[in-house]
Copies of this chain bind each other. A is one copy, B any other.
Amino acid sequence: MESESDLREQLATCARIFTMQGMLGLHGHVSVYQPETKRVLITPGAGSDKANLRDADMVAADLDGKPFDGKGRPPLEWPIHMKLHAARADAIAVAHLHPPYGTLFAIAKREYKPVTLHSGIFAKGVSIYTEPHLITTPERGEKLQKVIGDRRAAFMRGHGITVVARDLKELLHSTLVLENDALKTLQAATLGEVGTFSAEETSALEKSINIEMVAPRTWIYFSTLEARWDRQPASGKSELFP
């Protein structure tokens, strides 16, 4: 079991990387769950300076969104996180973001299909949550969780995305893969028909990807960039998978 202080530090790093990439700033949040203690650590809500989050800024709350020790307050849409952490043994890390490109699949009527070798991890597809509201109640959180089922992510109509992973490194990697695919689809579409993979190819891709090996590399690469980021507004948005 990882110590809470390690998890806090990893969570803060993950949030700063997403912020650097222009994917979590005003309204996004990320959480990590410790099943042994049933404690959720989550980034604070709108208004806080996400580029400078540190371990002590993480809010610890239970699965009903109540902060431990009455310190801090989880963000308004905490049920997104808590319902996923509670329902799935493999939902240790959850991100709710409104990223520049992924969010477009929550606006345009186009089904998401993997377009790069990386996105074989989304072979099961990405769910769509169609109700146009914030997830501010446990009931809505449960609905979203059911829509996601055993998939890795959902697009939320007119709103943003939610991504689920087994740890924070996998969460970072898979969220960036999805954003990269969204951007590439958008741009490739202006060139002509977008090439996708057959069912066999997607399945073969999924099997060929060793996410335990690649996710830590993605983590190291982006945390190196984040460590030297000057935190100038908009200065840090790197290409996703160059």
A residues adjacent to B (C-beta < 8 A): 19-20, 22-28, 46-47, 49, 97-101, 103-105, 107-110, 115-117, 132-134, 157-159, 184-195, 197, 201, 204-205, 208, 214, 216-218, 220-221, 224-226, 228-239, 241-242
A233 touches B242 (CB 8 A): no
On whether the beta carbons of A191 and B116 are closer than 8 Å, the reply is: no
Q: Are B132 and A194 in contact (CB under 8 A)?
A: no
> Is the contact region of chain A dominated by helix, strand, or loop, or is it mixed?
loop
> Quick one: which of B25, B158, B239 contacts A238, CB cutoff 8 A?
B25
Q: How far is the CA of A195 from the CA of B228 in the complex (A)?
A: 39
Contact A242:B116 (CB < 8 A) given known A190-B189, A191-B108, A192-B109: no
Task: Look across to chain B and name the residue whose beta carbon is closest to the beta carbon of A130.
Answer: B195
Q: Besides the contacts A46-B221, A108-B191, A232-B236, what 18 more A-B pairs have beta carbons closer than 8 Å? A: A22-B239, A101-B187, A104-B187, A104-B188, A105-B191, A107-B116, A108-B193, A108-B195, A117-B134, A132-B201, A132-B205, A228-B233, A232-B235, A233-B237, A234-B235, A234-B236, A234-B239, A235-B236
Q: Are B208 and A133 in contact (CB under 8 A)?
A: yes
Other-chain residue from B101, B104, B221 in contact with A47 (beta carbon distance below 8 A): B221
Name A132's contact: one of B49, B105, B197, B217 (CB within 8 Å).
Answer: B197
Nearest B residue to A193 via CB reads: B109
Copies in the complex: 4
Q: A26-B242, A27-B241, A186-B187 are in contact. Are A107 and B231 (CB under 8 A)?
A: no
Contact A191 B110, CB 8 Å, known A158-B115, A225-B233, A232-B229: yes
Most chain B C-beta atoms within 10 Å of own C-beta, residue among A23, A205, A229, A238 = A238
Indicate if the CB atoms of B27 and A107 lie closer than 8 Å.
no
Complex Cα spacing A227 to B90, Å: 41
